[in-house]
């Protein structure tokens, strides 16, 4: 089965990010395909490379980056939600006159059209968070 995932909650504030990650990992281990993971609302906070959890805690951002690299998964942050929360790749930072970017490896910024496409292309769109 081909899944797309929508994550609408940030890491460490809600179980949605952990649950989405664990679901994605389990689905891949069972041979399912992940078309795309779209991060929306506070979910875009899963894509900042500046998150620095304590050493004895899980690093949710790094988990997503590693999973994307190992399985060639498309991790997309909603551009509007990311801008509102101060998350930018190099192009967005430059376009908005910012002096730095903070996008974690494996993530990219795009619009809601990517969420619509994810829902169309997948057999199931699974939502984690509000």
> What would the pLDDT profile of 10-19 be if each residue is shown by its tens digit?
999 889 999 9
pTM of the model: 0.96
User: Quick one: three-class SS letters along the chain?
Assistant: CEEEEEECCCCCCCCHHHHHHHHHHHHHHCCCEEEEEEECHHHHHHHECCCCCCCCCCCHHHHHHHHHHHHCCCEEEEHHHHHHCCCCCHHHHHHCCCCCCCECCCEEEECCHHHHHHHHHCCEEEEECC
- Of the residues 61, 76, 78, 109, only one is catalytic, namely 78
Mean pLDDT of 28-44: 98
Average pLDDT, whole number, for the chain? Answer: 96
78 is catalytic: yes
Q: Give all domains of the chain, ordered by start, each with its CATH number.
A: 2-128 (3.40.1260.10)
What pLDDT is recorded for position 17?
Answer: 97
- The model's pLDDT over 78-114, given as tens digits with 9 standing for 90+, comes to 999 999 999 999 999 999 999 999 999 999 999 999 9
What pLDDT is recorded for position 19?
Answer: 97
Alpha-carbon dihedral 8, 126, 12, 108, rounded to 10 degrees: -60
Alpha-carbon dihedral 62, 83, 100, 67, rounded to 10 degrees: 20
Pick from 104, 115, 123, 122: which is nearest to 40 by CA?
115
């Amino acid at each position: 089965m081909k899944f797309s995932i929508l994550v609408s909650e940030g890491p460490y504030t809600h179980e949605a990010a952990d649950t989405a990650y664990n679901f994605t990992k389990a689905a891949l281990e069972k041979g399912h395909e992940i078309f795309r993971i779209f991060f929306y609302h506070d979910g875009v906070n899963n894509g900042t490379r500046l998150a620095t959890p304590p050493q004895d805690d899980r690093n949710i951002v790094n988990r997503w980056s590693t999973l994307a690299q190992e399985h060639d998964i498309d991790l997309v942050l909603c551009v509007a939600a990311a801008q509102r929360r101060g998350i930018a790749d190099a192009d967005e930072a430059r376009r908005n006159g910012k002096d730095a970017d903070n996008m974690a490896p494996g993530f990219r910024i795009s619009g809601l059209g990517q969420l619509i496409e994810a829902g169309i292309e997948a057999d199931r769109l699974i939502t984690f968070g509000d």
